[in-house]
Chain A
Amino acid sequence: MKVSYTWLQEYFKEKLPPAQELAQLFTMYAFEVESVEKKDSDHIFDVKILPNRAHDCLSHRGIAREIGTLLSLKLLAEQKEHSHTSYKSSSCVIETEKKELSNRQSAAIIRGVSVKKSPAWLAHRLEALGQKSINNIVDATNYVMFSIGQPIHAFDLAHIHQKDGIYRLVIRDSKEGEVLEVLGGQECTLPQGVILISDENVGRDAILDISGILGSTRTEVTEKTTDLLILSANFNPVKIRTAAKKLGLRTEASVRFENGITTELTMEGLQDVCRLIVDIAGGNIEAIVDIQNTPYEERTITLAFSDIEALLGFSIERKQITSILRKIGCTVHEDGENCKVTVPAGRLDMAIKEDVIEEIGRVYGFFNVPPREPKMHTQKVVQSPQTICVESVARALVDDGFDEVYTYTFRDKGYVELQNPIARDKNFFRQTLITGIQESLVLNTHNALLLGLYDAVKIFEIGTVCSGEGEYTALCIGIVPVKKVKNTDEFIDSMCVEAIEAVGRALGITIENKKHNNGVWEINLSECFKRAPATDKIGHVLTSPTDVDQKYTVGEYVKYKKISPYPFMLRDIAIFVPEGVSDSDVSDLITKEGGELLVSQTLFNIFNKTTPDGVSKTSYAYKLVFQSQERTLSNDEITIIMQKVTNAMNSKDGWQVR
């Protein structure tokens, strides 16, 4: 929600801290502030109001009260007396067909207003929050909504009919297919169960608005309007939410209603808006109606002081606890070890004792919670067999030279179909890992040499799939030869069988099914886990956790290098060196001379040779990969680098590039 700093300041006599400081205060004690934007002489906060505080904080006064609590300041507006007289009028009747549609409705008739542009201060207020100024009447209702959180609607009374001197409105559920034209001119066909208001003197089809969501053009306030019906009601949150979703209409009003607001606001909102309208548009208040279908009941929550420490894990002085609760606006009665807390009307989020404890912890500062070590249990910790098995299988495959991939779950085929896929060809939950593995093989075969994979690309994935029998964990391996071999099938088959046997050994079972499709093999691992011997026999069960502090060390830190979008270039170099010269000597020289475009070097061949004259030499052969992060490399520049490497090698005593 957008919140104006200048507006907030109006609630206080004292000068508020600067905007950035206030934002920091919100973040640490209340809500996240997404941004603070300077707008003319004002600052606009974009505050992320948490769903549990949407009851009382989707308004400037709600936020101001929060500031009051956190900075121990009293609000000026809170000192204002509100009239609690109940009003009845014989000239206007507003009935609810079913009690649950609206808990309370307060309404007023104002005659003789002049609808015009809003005064500058009002237009600025709304525009600062990103709202369009419409006219003085509509702006007044919106102003009160952003001020105290109560949505209010103004109807042009000229289009509501009077019979025997009485206006009769009914709040009712829509029937499917009812139609009205909403503000903005669109025609809207209603589903069943939307709260609406109709003009009973005309008939049930005379729909005046979609309650709590959007008004209709039928009673739209225009420049011709002189008389108004103002309605400030408390509509059923669930019904408003359901309707707004079905209609795809999310308005400032619907958001406030669907989160639920206190019934105590309707009359206050009505009085505020009437006062403002008379002030800026003239007119006389002719009638005020206030009907409560569900009377407001105070909520009192009892908790033991010891409950607070039990949940938060540290103690706060009683004096401080009661002081925090009073700052929030609660009435607190201490009763021995217990504390009776009556919560403010607007705080619908405070319903159980845990809610009260949260408020105490929050205002005290959650960042003050100290770390406390929990008591360790002495019995053995037995790890989940599935976790041990998956880890064991992955380790076996990695040891056998396989690289692991993760691919996407959403596919264009499967047993489980999505109602709302993100794309037309991603409408199923995968039934197999094979598709992902095949795509990955294609991608990685292109880069095999860059990756230093000269024999074969060997990959695997362990992941969830869903077949006709339901969901299970699958393992899929994929092999594509890179180097030219005499018998490809045999080459793949032997690698595949070796891998499958490694998986079997890792689980302590025999895997019968070794049938692979051209190097791609998949198995239901969940089935294998069931056959795996009791996990303690594999020897991975963890013992007592109390003394294992330093047992496990986390994976080594790796600085990830961004993948270059440009092609790589490959060069081979082979060299004879005198016996005793190590490969690292050669490798160091390559690194030094190769420069920053050299991204990898792989030693792929070593042999010793004794020449006829009795001199022993070692041959090292390297594959060098060149790639730039910024551009495509040219043949010529790599040739120059290779020449530099060759020259440096040949200049060493007894070294000779072959």
Chain B
Amino acid sequence: MENTQENKKGHLHPLSIITKDIVHIFAELGFTVAHGPEIENEYHNFDALNIPSYHPARDMWDTFWLKPAHTRKLLRTHTSPVQVRHMEKNSPPIRIIAPGKVFRHEATDATHEAQFYQIEGLMVDTNVSLAHLKWILETFFRKLFSQTVSVRFRPSYFPFVEPGVEIDMSCFKCGGSGCSVCKQTGWIEIMGAGMVHPHVLTSVGIDPEIYKGFAFGGGIDRLVLLKYGIEDIRLLYSGDLRLTNQF
């Protein structure tokens, strides 16, 4: 009697699939993966990123603080501290991405989680500009979603970049004509980015008069939900194979 159940392969979780895609696409563009801790200190998560404690922009990140309070330890609210940690130990030219888990102290619902994954990117060199950022991101999204998507920049603000931009991707589903995925706008808001702020470069000992850099960051979960049409972010952390085994 032959049992057809044997040699059956298992399944990767969709977050792992997309992360793998991201890592490989960026490797082809010369970006390698950098790592950083999930338990961070205030300096790397905020101060070194030009977000001093009194800065109103701190309100953009609802933070989980750790005990004891005087240690000022926290769960990283974004993957941006990995930029700082990498630049502290490495000199330009730099091309890294940092996928990783981040935490936000907020109420959870179908589109919000207190834990989720982000992808961070950083390129520092003597000649780096917003135009290069656009090429890199457009190339990335075309490989991840479809050859037809394009990227546009809108004004935004993050204390660790200047200029700061919001990244919209043209809708991969409808091609820009408007559908439920893009809320009839033809565009999907997908990342934040900008040119690394001179204060950030200075704080890690890189001369902003010689080097420039771009940085970007966005949610991997959101890419997963968008790409596969999953309706609830919480499903990703439910440990439920009815999700995993569809992939």
CA distance A592 to B130 in the complex (A): 54
Contacting pair A429 B39 (CB below 8 A): yes
Return the chain A residue nearest B230 by Cβ: A560
Known: A369-B134, A403-B245, A404-B11. A29 touches B4 (CB 8 A): no
Contacting pair B10 A401 (CB below 8 A): yes
Contacting pair B18 A31 (CB below 8 A): no
Residues of A within 8 A of B227 (CB): 557
Contacting pair B28 A545 (CB below 8 A): yes
Q: Does A113 touch B at the CB level, under 8 Å? A: no
Return the chain B residue nearest A551 by Cβ: B28
Minimum distance in angstroms from B139 CB to a CB of chain A? 8
CA distance A656 to B21 in the complex (A): 47
Known: A361-B163, A406-B15. A259 touches B56 (CB 8 A): yes
Which of A148-156, A442-450, A645-653 binds B? A442-450
CA distance A372 to B27 in the complex (A): 18
Minimum distance in angstroms from A519 CB to a CB of chain B? 15
Q: Does A566 touch B at the CB level, under 8 Å? A: no
Contacting pair A54 B56 (CB below 8 A): yes
CA distance A361 to B67 in the complex (A): 44
Known: A382-B32, A471-B39. A28 touches B154 (CB 8 A): yes
Most chain A Cβ neighbours within 10 Å, of B3, B15, B28, B228: B28
CA distance A29 to B228 in the complex (A): 32
Which of B38, B212, B231 contacts A464 (CB under 8 A)? B38
Q: Does A611 touch B at the CB level, under 8 Å? A: no
Residues of B within 8 A of A51 (CB): 55-57, 60, 157, 159
Q: Does B240 touch A at the CB level, under 8 Å? A: yes
Contacting pair B32 A381 (CB below 8 A): yes
Residues of B within 8 A of A367 (CB): 152-154
Residues of A within 8 A of B31 (CB): 381
Q: Does B181 touch A at the CB level, under 8 Å? A: no
Minimum distance in angstroms from B61 CB to a CB of chain A? 12
Minimum distance in angstroms from A304 CB to a CB of chain B? 11
CA distance A372 to B136 in the complex (A): 8
Q: Does B46 touch A at the CB level, under 8 Å? A: no
Known: A310-B212, A355-B162, A552-B25. A242 touches B54 (CB 8 A): yes
Residues of A within 8 A of B244 (CB): 403-405
Contacting pair A562 B231 (CB below 8 A): yes
Q: Does A229 touch B at the CB level, under 8 Å? A: no
Contacting pair B239 A436 (CB below 8 A): yes
Residues of A within 8 A of B3 (CB): 604-605
Minimum distance in angstroms from A136 CB to a CB of chain B? 32
Chain B: interface size category: 35 or more
Minimum distance in angstroms from A277 CB to a CB of chain B? 31
Contacting pair B131 A371 (CB below 8 A): yes
A573-604 Cβ-contact flags toward B at 8 Å (1 or 0): 00000000000000000000000000000111
Residues of A within 8 A of B66 (CB): 416-419, 429
Q: Does A616 touch B at the CB level, under 8 Å? A: no
Contacting pair A370 B131 (CB below 8 A): yes
Beta-carbon contacts under 8 Å, B88-131 to A: 93, 95, 101, 103, 105, 107-108, 114-115, 123, 125, 127-131
Residues of A within 8 A of B163 (CB): 311-312, 354, 357-358, 361-362, 366
Q: Does B12 touch A at the CB level, under 8 Å? A: yes
B33-68 Cβ-contact flags toward A at 8 Å (1 or 0): 111011100000000000000111100100011110
B1-22 Cβ-contact flags toward A at 8 Å (1 or 0): 1111101111111111110110
Minimum distance in angstroms from A129 CB to a CB of chain B? 21
Contacting pair B2 A606 (CB below 8 A): yes
Q: Does B179 touch A at the CB level, under 8 Å? A: no
CA distance A362 to B231 in the complex (A): 35
Contacting pair B9 A311 (CB below 8 A): no
Minimum distance in angstroms from B11 CB to a CB of chain A? 5
Contacting pair A311 B69 (CB below 8 A): no
Residues of A within 8 A of B107 (CB): 422
Beta-carbon contacts under 8 Å, A57-106 to B: none
Return the chain B residue nearest A370 by Cβ: B131
Return the chain A residue nearest B209 by Cβ: A307
Which of A371, A542, A551, A563 contacts B242 (CB under 8 A)? A563
Contacting pair B129 A401 (CB below 8 A): no
Minimum distance in angstroms from B225 CB to a CB of chain A? 9
Beta-carbon contacts under 8 Å, B219-247 to A: 227-231, 235-247
Return the chain B residue nearest A447 by Cβ: B242
Known: A366-B153, A422-B114. A404 touches B135 (CB 8 A): no
Residues of B within 8 A of A354 (CB): 162-163, 195, 197-198
Contacting pair A52 B75 (CB below 8 A): no
Contacting pair A419 B131 (CB below 8 A): no
Known: A311-B163, A352-B162. A366 touches B27 (CB 8 A): no
Return the chain B residue nearest A472 by Cβ: B37
CA distance A402 to B163 in the complex (A): 46
Residues of B within 8 A of A603 (CB): 4
Contacting pair A311 B130 (CB below 8 A): yes
Residues of B within 8 A of A310 (CB): 127, 129, 212
Q: Does A457 touch B at the CB level, under 8 Å? A: yes
Which of B56, B127, B241 contacts A258 (CB under 8 A)? B56
B175-204 Cβ-contact flags toward A at 8 Å (1 or 0): 000000000000000000001011000000
Residues of B within 8 A of A41 (CB): none
Known pairs A366-B153, A382-B32, A383-B23; list 14 more (Cβ under 8 Å): A50-B157, A51-B56, A354-B163, A361-B163, A366-B165, A369-B134, A398-B11, A400-B10, A404-B244, A409-B38, A429-B66, A444-B241, A554-B21, A605-B3
6 nearest CB pairs, A to B: A313-B131, A313-B129, A440-B239, A358-B163, A366-B153, A372-B131
Measured CB to CB, the residues of A under 8 A from B are 27-32, 50-54, 237-238, 241-242, 258-259, 309-314, 352, 354-355, 357-358, 361-362, 366-367, 369-377, 381-384, 386-387, 391, 394, 397-410, 416-422, 429, 436-437, 439-440, 443-444, 447, 450-455, 457-459, 461, 463-464, 466, 471, 542, 545, 548-549, 551-552, 554-555, 557-563, 602-607
Q: What are 9 A-B contacts with C-beta separation under 8 Å?
A: A355-B162, A418-B64, A422-B114, A429-B39, A439-B239, A447-B242, A555-B17, A557-B228, A563-B240
